[in-house]
Chains A and B, each alone.
Chain A
Amino acid sequence: MSEAASSSTPPAPPPNPPDPKVKIYLMPVGSAPILKRSKFKVSASSPWSQLVMFVRKQLALAPDASLHLYLGSAFSPNMDEQVGGLSECFRVGEELQVQYSIQEAWG
Protein backbone atom coordinates (compact mmCIF):
# COMPACT_ATOMS: atom_id res chain seq x y z
CA MET A 1 0.00 0.00 0.00
CA SER A 2 1.31 3.39 -0.91
CA GLU A 3 2.00 6.01 1.73
CA ALA A 4 -0.68 8.25 0.23
CA ALA A 5 -3.29 5.52 0.53
CA SER A 6 -2.39 4.70 4.12
CA SER A 7 -2.61 8.38 5.09
CA SER A 8 -6.11 8.67 3.60
CA THR A 9 -7.65 6.97 6.62
CA PRO A 10 -6.46 9.04 9.53
CA PRO A 11 -7.36 7.93 13.04
CA ALA A 12 -10.52 9.45 14.42
CA PRO A 13 -9.79 12.61 16.43
CA PRO A 14 -10.04 12.19 20.19
CA PRO A 15 -13.35 13.33 21.66
CA ASN A 16 -13.38 16.80 23.21
CA PRO A 17 -12.33 16.62 26.87
CA PRO A 18 -15.18 17.28 29.29
CA ASP A 19 -15.45 20.80 30.62
CA PRO A 20 -13.55 20.74 33.95
CA LYS A 21 -15.32 21.89 37.08
CA VAL A 22 -14.25 24.57 39.52
CA LYS A 23 -14.91 24.17 43.24
CA ILE A 24 -16.60 27.28 44.62
CA TYR A 25 -16.75 28.16 48.31
CA LEU A 26 -19.36 30.85 49.00
CA MET A 27 -18.70 33.02 52.06
CA PRO A 28 -21.24 35.54 53.39
CA VAL A 29 -20.12 39.07 54.22
CA GLY A 30 -21.90 41.50 56.55
CA SER A 31 -25.60 40.84 56.85
CA ALA A 32 -25.80 38.44 53.89
CA PRO A 33 -27.86 35.35 54.69
CA ILE A 34 -25.93 32.12 55.24
CA LEU A 35 -26.54 29.46 52.64
CA LYS A 36 -27.46 25.96 53.77
CA ARG A 37 -24.85 24.65 51.41
CA SER A 38 -21.79 26.77 50.71
CA LYS A 39 -19.72 24.57 48.38
CA PHE A 40 -20.61 23.98 44.74
CA LYS A 41 -19.00 22.96 41.50
CA VAL A 42 -19.30 25.15 38.42
CA SER A 43 -18.14 24.52 34.85
CA ALA A 44 -14.82 26.24 34.18
CA SER A 45 -16.18 27.74 30.96
CA SER A 46 -19.11 29.41 32.74
CA PRO A 47 -19.11 33.21 32.74
CA TRP A 48 -19.05 34.95 36.10
CA SER A 49 -22.60 36.17 35.41
CA GLN A 50 -23.80 32.56 35.62
CA LEU A 51 -22.39 32.23 39.14
CA VAL A 52 -24.06 35.50 40.13
CA MET A 53 -27.40 34.23 38.83
CA PHE A 54 -26.89 30.94 40.68
CA VAL A 55 -26.21 32.69 44.00
CA ARG A 56 -29.23 34.95 43.49
CA LYS A 57 -31.34 31.86 43.05
CA GLN A 58 -29.86 30.14 46.09
CA LEU A 59 -30.57 33.23 48.20
CA ALA A 60 -34.05 33.59 46.66
CA LEU A 61 -33.43 37.29 46.09
CA ALA A 62 -36.03 39.54 44.52
CA PRO A 63 -35.13 40.62 40.96
CA ASP A 64 -34.39 44.17 42.07
CA ALA A 65 -32.40 43.18 45.19
CA SER A 66 -28.70 43.93 45.04
CA LEU A 67 -26.02 41.27 45.30
CA HIS A 68 -22.25 41.71 45.16
CA LEU A 69 -19.78 38.90 44.61
CA TYR A 70 -16.09 39.40 45.34
CA LEU A 71 -12.81 37.56 45.03
CA GLY A 72 -9.99 37.91 47.52
CA SER A 73 -12.22 40.15 49.64
CA ALA A 74 -11.19 42.86 47.23
CA PHE A 75 -12.78 43.13 43.79
CA SER A 76 -15.70 42.08 41.61
CA PRO A 77 -14.79 40.36 38.35
CA ASN A 78 -16.53 41.41 35.16
CA MET A 79 -19.66 39.45 34.33
CA ASP A 80 -18.12 38.11 31.12
CA GLU A 81 -14.97 36.67 32.72
CA GLN A 82 -14.71 32.89 32.77
CA VAL A 83 -14.85 31.16 36.13
CA GLY A 84 -12.05 28.79 35.06
CA GLY A 85 -9.57 31.59 34.36
CA LEU A 86 -10.46 33.36 37.60
CA SER A 87 -9.96 30.11 39.49
CA GLU A 88 -6.51 29.62 37.98
CA CYS A 89 -5.53 33.12 39.06
CA PHE A 90 -7.19 33.46 42.45
CA ARG A 91 -8.05 30.09 43.94
CA VAL A 92 -6.95 29.28 47.46
CA GLY A 93 -5.86 25.67 47.66
CA GLU A 94 -8.30 23.68 45.56
CA GLU A 95 -11.24 26.08 45.69
CA LEU A 96 -12.22 29.53 44.56
CA GLN A 97 -13.37 31.46 47.61
CA VAL A 98 -16.16 33.86 46.70
CA GLN A 99 -17.49 36.46 49.14
CA TYR A 100 -21.08 37.55 48.67
CA SER A 101 -22.79 40.57 50.14
CA ILE A 102 -26.14 42.31 49.90
CA GLN A 103 -24.58 45.72 50.38
CA GLU A 104 -21.45 46.89 48.64
CA ALA A 105 -18.61 45.63 50.81
CA TRP A 106 -15.43 46.58 48.95
CA GLY A 107 -15.83 49.46 46.48
Chain B
Amino acid sequence: MNDGAQGLSWHGQIPCEIALSAYDVVDLAAPAPVHLMLPRMSYLHAAASSAVDALRQSSLVASASSVWFSVDKTPQRFNLPVGVLFDIHQLKNGVRENSETIRHLPWRLTVHFSSYPADVLLGYDQDVPRHFFSQQLKQALFLEHGNARVGMGITQENSEQMWGAVGEGDFETYKIVNDKVVADYELGEMKHEEFDTRSEQQKHTDEVRAQMDAEREAAERKEWGEAEETEGGNLRKREINSVPVRVIIGDGEQKLIQKPVAATKTLGEVLEQFLGDGGGGTDRVINGLFGVPDDTFITELWRSCQSADHFLYVVVKA
Protein backbone atom coordinates (compact mmCIF):
# COMPACT_ATOMS: atom_id res chain seq x y z
CA MET B 1 0.00 0.00 0.00
CA ASN B 2 1.03 3.54 -0.53
CA ASP B 3 1.57 4.15 3.19
CA GLY B 4 2.55 7.78 2.89
CA ALA B 5 -0.54 8.96 1.05
CA GLN B 6 -2.84 6.61 2.93
CA GLY B 7 -1.33 7.75 6.22
CA LEU B 8 -2.00 11.38 5.28
CA SER B 9 -5.60 10.45 4.47
CA TRP B 10 -5.94 8.94 7.91
CA HIS B 11 -4.64 12.06 9.61
CA GLY B 12 -7.43 14.11 8.05
CA GLN B 13 -9.92 15.41 10.63
CA ILE B 14 -13.08 17.48 10.42
CA PRO B 15 -13.88 20.18 13.00
CA CYS B 16 -17.40 19.46 14.25
CA GLU B 17 -19.98 20.95 16.52
CA ILE B 18 -22.41 18.45 18.01
CA ALA B 19 -25.62 19.72 19.61
CA LEU B 20 -28.40 17.87 21.38
CA SER B 21 -31.71 17.71 19.52
CA ALA B 22 -34.21 20.25 20.91
CA TYR B 23 -36.76 17.41 21.22
CA ASP B 24 -34.49 15.57 23.67
CA VAL B 25 -33.61 18.47 25.95
CA VAL B 26 -35.09 18.10 29.43
CA ASP B 27 -33.08 20.80 31.25
CA LEU B 28 -34.39 24.35 31.35
CA ALA B 29 -31.61 25.42 29.03
CA ALA B 30 -30.19 23.36 26.20
CA PRO B 31 -26.66 22.12 26.94
CA ALA B 32 -23.79 23.81 25.12
CA PRO B 33 -22.79 22.02 21.95
CA VAL B 34 -19.63 19.91 22.05
CA HIS B 35 -16.76 20.79 19.74
CA LEU B 36 -14.37 18.10 18.61
CA MET B 37 -12.27 16.88 15.70
CA LEU B 38 -13.66 13.79 14.00
CA PRO B 39 -11.21 11.61 12.07
CA ARG B 40 -12.29 11.30 8.42
CA MET B 41 -11.74 7.52 8.42
CA SER B 42 -13.83 6.96 11.54
CA TYR B 43 -17.55 6.42 12.03
CA LEU B 44 -19.88 8.76 13.87
CA HIS B 45 -20.85 6.43 16.68
CA ALA B 46 -17.25 5.41 17.34
CA ALA B 47 -15.59 8.81 17.06
CA ALA B 48 -18.24 10.96 18.75
CA SER B 49 -18.98 8.68 21.70
CA SER B 50 -17.53 11.17 24.24
CA ALA B 51 -19.78 13.95 22.91
CA VAL B 52 -22.77 11.61 22.96
CA ASP B 53 -22.07 10.67 26.59
CA ALA B 54 -21.74 14.33 27.59
CA LEU B 55 -25.00 15.35 25.91
CA ARG B 56 -26.83 12.27 27.14
CA GLN B 57 -26.82 13.81 30.64
CA SER B 58 -29.34 16.41 29.46
CA SER B 59 -31.65 13.96 27.77
CA LEU B 60 -34.53 12.17 29.40
CA VAL B 61 -34.57 9.42 26.81
CA ALA B 62 -31.09 8.02 26.96
CA SER B 63 -31.51 4.60 25.42
CA ALA B 64 -28.38 3.39 23.72
CA SER B 65 -30.48 1.72 21.07
CA SER B 66 -31.79 4.92 19.57
CA VAL B 67 -28.76 7.17 19.15
CA TRP B 68 -28.61 8.81 15.73
CA PHE B 69 -27.17 11.90 14.09
CA SER B 70 -28.58 14.40 11.66
CA VAL B 71 -27.24 17.28 9.60
CA ASP B 72 -29.70 19.94 8.45
CA LYS B 73 -32.48 17.53 9.55
CA THR B 74 -31.10 14.77 7.28
CA PRO B 75 -30.35 11.51 9.18
CA GLN B 76 -26.75 10.37 8.74
CA ARG B 77 -25.98 6.77 7.81
CA PHE B 78 -23.85 5.20 10.51
CA ASN B 79 -22.29 2.66 8.15
CA LEU B 80 -20.48 5.31 6.09
CA PRO B 81 -17.17 6.85 7.20
CA VAL B 82 -17.31 10.36 8.69
CA GLY B 83 -15.35 11.77 5.75
CA VAL B 84 -17.81 10.36 3.22
CA LEU B 85 -20.76 11.84 5.12
CA PHE B 86 -19.02 15.22 5.15
CA ASP B 87 -18.26 14.96 1.41
CA ILE B 88 -21.96 14.27 0.74
CA HIS B 89 -22.80 17.35 2.83
CA GLN B 90 -20.32 19.48 0.89
CA LEU B 91 -21.57 18.47 -2.56
CA LYS B 92 -25.15 18.98 -1.43
CA ASN B 93 -24.28 22.53 -0.38
CA GLY B 94 -22.69 23.43 -3.68
CA VAL B 95 -19.02 23.14 -2.74
CA ARG B 96 -17.05 22.57 -5.95
CA GLU B 97 -13.45 23.05 -4.90
CA ASN B 98 -11.36 22.57 -1.78
CA SER B 99 -10.98 26.28 -1.09
CA GLU B 100 -14.75 26.50 -0.45
CA THR B 101 -14.74 23.83 2.27
CA ILE B 102 -13.85 26.33 4.99
CA ARG B 103 -17.26 28.02 4.64
CA HIS B 104 -18.92 24.84 5.92
CA LEU B 105 -16.84 24.42 9.06
CA PRO B 106 -17.42 23.53 11.76
CA TRP B 107 -19.65 20.77 10.50
CA ARG B 108 -22.82 21.08 12.58
CA LEU B 109 -24.33 17.78 13.67
CA THR B 110 -27.28 17.08 15.92
CA VAL B 111 -27.45 14.00 18.12
CA HIS B 112 -30.84 12.45 18.88
CA PHE B 113 -31.87 9.96 21.54
CA SER B 114 -35.45 9.43 20.40
CA SER B 115 -37.68 9.14 17.32
CA TYR B 116 -35.24 6.83 15.52
CA PRO B 117 -35.92 7.15 11.74
CA ALA B 118 -36.13 3.42 11.05
CA ASP B 119 -37.58 4.07 7.60
CA VAL B 120 -34.40 5.86 6.54
CA LEU B 121 -31.58 4.35 8.60
CA LEU B 122 -30.52 0.76 9.13
CA GLY B 123 -31.55 -0.80 12.42
CA TYR B 124 -29.21 0.25 15.22
CA ASP B 125 -27.97 -0.99 18.52
CA GLN B 126 -24.68 -0.47 20.27
CA ASP B 127 -22.72 -3.24 18.51
CA VAL B 128 -24.20 -2.70 15.06
CA PRO B 129 -21.68 -0.13 13.70
CA ARG B 130 -18.74 -2.45 14.42
CA HIS B 131 -20.62 -5.38 12.90
CA PHE B 132 -21.34 -3.41 9.72
CA PHE B 133 -17.73 -2.27 9.51
CA SER B 134 -16.54 -5.85 9.82
CA GLN B 135 -18.96 -7.10 7.15
CA GLN B 136 -18.03 -4.28 4.75
CA LEU B 137 -14.34 -5.04 5.26
CA LYS B 138 -14.91 -8.71 4.46
CA GLN B 139 -16.88 -7.75 1.37
CA ALA B 140 -14.09 -5.48 0.12
CA LEU B 141 -11.45 -8.13 0.81
CA PHE B 142 -13.54 -10.61 -1.17
CA LEU B 143 -13.50 -8.25 -4.14
CA GLU B 144 -9.78 -7.57 -3.82
CA HIS B 145 -8.70 -11.19 -3.62
CA GLY B 146 -11.51 -12.90 -5.51
CA ASN B 147 -12.24 -15.20 -2.58
CA ALA B 148 -13.35 -15.09 1.04
CA ARG B 149 -10.18 -16.47 2.61
CA VAL B 150 -8.58 -13.19 3.76
CA GLY B 151 -11.81 -11.93 5.27
CA MET B 152 -12.46 -15.23 6.99
CA GLY B 153 -9.02 -15.03 8.57
CA ILE B 154 -9.99 -11.92 10.55
CA THR B 155 -10.33 -12.99 14.18
CA GLN B 156 -12.61 -11.39 16.73
CA GLU B 157 -9.51 -9.85 18.30
CA ASN B 158 -8.36 -8.41 14.94
CA SER B 159 -11.82 -7.00 14.35
CA GLU B 160 -11.97 -5.31 17.77
CA GLN B 161 -8.46 -3.91 17.40
CA MET B 162 -9.28 -2.47 13.98
CA TRP B 163 -12.54 -0.97 15.18
CA GLY B 164 -10.77 0.60 18.16
CA ALA B 165 -8.13 2.08 15.86
CA VAL B 166 -10.80 3.35 13.47
CA GLY B 167 -12.64 5.07 16.32
CA GLU B 168 -9.49 6.94 17.33
CA GLY B 169 -8.22 7.56 13.81
CA ASP B 170 -5.10 5.59 14.80
CA PHE B 171 -3.51 4.65 11.46
CA GLU B 172 -0.44 2.99 12.97
CA THR B 173 -2.47 0.42 14.95
CA TYR B 174 -4.91 -0.09 12.10
CA LYS B 175 -2.07 -0.73 9.67
CA ILE B 176 -0.34 -3.23 11.95
CA VAL B 177 -3.54 -5.31 12.25
CA ASN B 178 -4.47 -4.84 8.59
CA ASP B 179 -1.03 -5.93 7.38
CA LYS B 180 -1.10 -8.90 9.76
CA VAL B 181 -4.40 -10.10 8.35
CA VAL B 182 -3.06 -9.99 4.79
CA ALA B 183 0.29 -11.49 5.82
CA ASP B 184 -1.47 -14.39 7.58
CA TYR B 185 -3.44 -15.01 4.40
CA GLU B 186 -0.32 -14.99 2.24
CA LEU B 187 1.42 -17.31 4.72
CA GLY B 188 -1.59 -19.62 4.49
CA GLU B 189 -1.31 -19.55 0.71
CA MET B 190 2.35 -20.53 0.99
CA LYS B 191 1.49 -23.42 3.32
CA HIS B 192 -1.17 -24.46 0.87
CA GLU B 193 1.44 -24.56 -1.84
CA GLU B 194 3.42 -27.10 0.17
CA PHE B 195 0.93 -29.65 -1.01
CA ASP B 196 1.65 -28.95 -4.65
CA THR B 197 2.88 -31.68 -6.94
CA ARG B 198 6.03 -30.00 -8.14
CA SER B 199 9.27 -31.86 -7.70
CA GLU B 200 11.78 -30.53 -5.15
CA GLN B 201 14.05 -29.52 -8.01
CA GLN B 202 11.23 -27.61 -9.73
CA LYS B 203 10.25 -25.88 -6.48
CA HIS B 204 13.83 -24.78 -5.97
CA THR B 205 14.04 -23.48 -9.53
CA ASP B 206 10.77 -21.55 -9.10
CA GLU B 207 11.95 -20.05 -5.82
CA VAL B 208 15.22 -18.89 -7.38
CA ARG B 209 13.32 -17.36 -10.28
CA ALA B 210 10.89 -15.60 -7.93
CA GLN B 211 13.82 -14.26 -5.91
CA MET B 212 15.53 -12.98 -9.06
CA ASP B 213 12.30 -11.35 -10.25
CA ALA B 214 11.83 -9.66 -6.89
CA GLU B 215 15.41 -8.35 -6.93
CA ARG B 216 15.06 -7.13 -10.50
CA GLU B 217 11.78 -5.35 -9.69
CA ALA B 218 13.33 -3.80 -6.58
CA ALA B 219 16.25 -2.53 -8.69
CA GLU B 220 13.84 -1.09 -11.28
CA ARG B 221 11.82 0.62 -8.57
CA LYS B 222 14.95 2.13 -7.14
CA GLU B 223 15.96 3.37 -10.58
CA TRP B 224 12.60 4.64 -11.76
CA GLY B 225 11.03 5.70 -8.51
CA GLU B 226 7.52 5.43 -7.14
CA ALA B 227 5.71 6.28 -10.39
CA GLU B 228 6.94 3.09 -12.00
CA GLU B 229 5.25 1.00 -9.32
CA THR B 230 1.80 1.38 -10.73
CA GLU B 231 2.44 2.01 -14.40
CA GLY B 232 -0.66 0.99 -16.31
CA GLY B 233 -2.62 0.74 -13.12
CA ASN B 234 -1.19 -2.69 -12.43
CA LEU B 235 -0.30 -3.40 -8.86
CA ARG B 236 3.25 -4.31 -8.10
CA LYS B 237 2.84 -6.22 -4.88
CA ARG B 238 0.00 -8.48 -5.87
CA GLU B 239 -2.67 -8.72 -8.47
CA ILE B 240 -6.02 -7.25 -7.51
CA ASN B 241 -9.03 -9.20 -8.58
CA SER B 242 -11.35 -6.20 -8.49
CA VAL B 243 -10.92 -2.76 -6.92
CA PRO B 244 -13.51 -2.19 -4.16
CA VAL B 245 -15.24 1.01 -5.28
CA ARG B 246 -18.56 2.47 -4.23
CA VAL B 247 -20.19 5.46 -5.87
CA ILE B 248 -22.68 7.45 -3.79
CA ILE B 249 -25.07 9.81 -5.50
CA GLY B 250 -25.02 12.63 -3.00
CA ASP B 251 -28.56 13.94 -3.36
CA GLY B 252 -31.91 12.72 -2.05
CA GLU B 253 -31.80 9.12 -0.94
CA GLN B 254 -28.01 9.00 -1.35
CA LYS B 255 -28.08 5.91 -3.53
CA LEU B 256 -25.04 3.66 -3.20
CA ILE B 257 -23.82 1.83 -6.31
CA GLN B 258 -21.30 -0.97 -6.33
CA LYS B 259 -19.86 -2.78 -9.34
CA PRO B 260 -16.76 -4.86 -10.03
CA VAL B 261 -13.96 -2.53 -11.15
CA ALA B 262 -10.93 -3.69 -13.15
CA ALA B 263 -7.58 -2.54 -11.76
CA THR B 264 -6.51 -1.06 -15.10
CA LYS B 265 -9.34 1.50 -15.31
CA THR B 266 -9.12 5.25 -14.83
CA LEU B 267 -11.48 7.28 -12.66
CA GLY B 268 -13.27 8.58 -15.75
CA GLU B 269 -13.82 5.06 -17.06
CA VAL B 270 -15.14 3.93 -13.69
CA LEU B 271 -17.62 6.81 -13.53
CA GLU B 272 -18.79 5.97 -17.06
CA GLN B 273 -19.22 2.35 -15.94
CA PHE B 274 -21.24 3.37 -12.88
CA LEU B 275 -23.21 6.32 -14.22
CA GLY B 276 -23.39 5.71 -17.96
CA ASP B 277 -22.37 8.04 -20.79
CA GLY B 278 -21.18 11.39 -19.52
CA GLY B 279 -20.48 9.99 -16.06
CA GLY B 280 -16.83 11.00 -16.35
CA GLY B 281 -17.69 14.70 -16.33
CA THR B 282 -19.76 14.51 -13.16
CA ASP B 283 -18.85 16.68 -10.16
CA ARG B 284 -17.21 14.38 -7.67
CA VAL B 285 -15.36 14.42 -4.37
CA ILE B 286 -13.08 11.64 -3.17
CA ASN B 287 -11.87 11.63 0.41
CA GLY B 288 -12.24 15.39 0.57
CA LEU B 289 -10.55 16.00 -2.79
CA PHE B 290 -12.36 17.94 -5.49
CA GLY B 291 -11.31 17.97 -9.11
CA VAL B 292 -9.45 14.65 -9.26
CA PRO B 293 -8.66 14.27 -13.00
CA ASP B 294 -10.52 11.67 -15.05
CA ASP B 295 -7.29 10.06 -16.22
CA THR B 296 -6.17 9.14 -12.68
CA PHE B 297 -5.79 5.39 -12.34
CA ILE B 298 -8.37 3.99 -9.97
CA THR B 299 -5.78 1.82 -8.23
CA GLU B 300 -3.73 4.93 -7.41
CA LEU B 301 -6.77 6.54 -5.86
CA TRP B 302 -7.72 3.38 -4.06
CA ARG B 303 -4.27 2.99 -2.51
CA SER B 304 -4.23 6.57 -1.29
CA CYS B 305 -7.84 7.28 -0.39
CA GLN B 306 -9.43 3.95 0.54
CA SER B 307 -11.45 3.92 3.74
CA ALA B 308 -10.75 1.67 6.69
CA ASP B 309 -13.19 -0.89 5.23
CA HIS B 310 -10.99 -1.00 2.09
CA PHE B 311 -13.66 0.61 -0.09
CA LEU B 312 -12.93 3.71 -2.16
CA TYR B 313 -15.96 5.99 -1.85
CA VAL B 314 -16.63 8.38 -4.72
CA VAL B 315 -19.37 10.90 -3.95
CA VAL B 316 -20.97 12.41 -7.06
CA LYS B 317 -23.55 15.08 -7.70
CA ALA B 318 -26.80 13.65 -9.03
Q: Which of B175-212 contact A (CB under 8 A)?
A: none
Which chain B residue shows the least CB distance to A49? Answer: B122
Q: Which residues of A contact B132 (CB under 8 A)?
A: 78
How many inter-chain contacts with C-beta < 8 Å in the A-B complex? 52
User: B148, A77: Cβ atoms under 8 Å?
Assistant: no
Q: Which residues of A contact B242 (CB under 8 A)?
A: 89
State the Cβ distance, B308 to closest chain A Cβ, in Å.
Answer: 15
User: B122, A75: Cβ atoms under 8 Å?
Assistant: no
Q: Which residues of A contact B136 (CB under 8 A)?
A: 78
Pick the contact of A80: B122, B142, B159 (CB < 8 A). B122
Q: Given the complex of chains A and B, what is the CA–CA distance between A81 and B135 in angstroms?
A: 12
User: A88, B260: Cβ atoms under 8 Å?
Assistant: yes
Q: Given the complex of chains A and B, what is the CA–CA distance between A78 and B139 in angstroms?
A: 10
Q: Given the complex of chains A and B, what is the CA–CA distance between A90 and B142 in angstroms?
A: 9
Q: Is B156 an interface residue (CB 8 A)?
A: yes
Q: Which of A71-92 contact B (CB under 8 A)?
A: 71-82, 85-86, 88-90
Q: Which of B61-77 contact A (CB under 8 A)?
A: 77
Pick the contact of A75: B77, B123, B138, B159 (CB < 8 A). B138
Which chain B residue shows the least CB distance to A72? Answer: B148
User: A78, B259: Cβ atoms under 8 Å?
Assistant: no
Q: Which residues of A contact B214 (CB under 8 A)?
A: none
Q: Which of A54-84 contact B (CB under 8 A)?
A: 71-82
State the Cβ distance, B202 to closest chain A Cβ, in Å.
Answer: 33
User: A78, B142: Cβ atoms under 8 Å?
Assistant: no
Q: Given the complex of chains A and B, what is the CA–CA distance between A85 and B152 in angstroms?
A: 22
User: A88, B259: Cβ atoms under 8 Å?
Assistant: yes
Q: Which residues of A contact B123 (CB under 8 A)?
A: 79
Count of residues in A whose CB is under 8 Å from the partner chain: 19
User: B151, A85: Cβ atoms under 8 Å?
Assistant: no
Q: Which residues of A contact B260 (CB under 8 A)?
A: 88-89
Q: Is A107 an interface residue (CB 8 A)?
A: yes
User: A85, B122: Cβ atoms under 8 Å?
Assistant: no
Q: A81-B256, A88-B260 are known contacts. Are A74 and B122 too (CB-CB below 8 A)? A: no
Which chain A residue shows the least CB distance to B143? Answer: A89
Q: Which of B123-172 contact A (CB under 8 A)?
A: 123, 132, 134-136, 138-139, 142-143, 147-148, 151-152, 156, 159
Q: A72-B142, A74-B148, A89-B143 are known contacts. Are A80 and B256 too (CB-CB below 8 A)? A: yes
Q: Given the complex of chains A and B, what is the CA–CA distance between A75 and B147 in angstroms?
A: 11
Q: Given the complex of chains A and B, what is the CA–CA distance between A75 and B134 in angstroms?
A: 9
Q: A78-B79, A78-B132, A107-B156 are known contacts. Are A73 and B259 too (CB-CB below 8 A)? A: no
Of A73, A89, A106, most B-chain CB atoms within 10 Å: A89
User: A89, B258: Cβ atoms under 8 Å?
Assistant: yes
Q: Is B257 an interface residue (CB 8 A)?
A: yes
Instruction: Show the binding face of B for A, using Cβ within 8 Å.
Output: 77, 79, 122-123, 132, 134-136, 138-139, 142-143, 147-148, 151-152, 156, 159, 242, 256-260
6 A-B contact pairs sorted by A residue (CB < 8 Å) = A71-B142, A72-B142, A74-B138, A75-B148, A75-B151, A85-B259
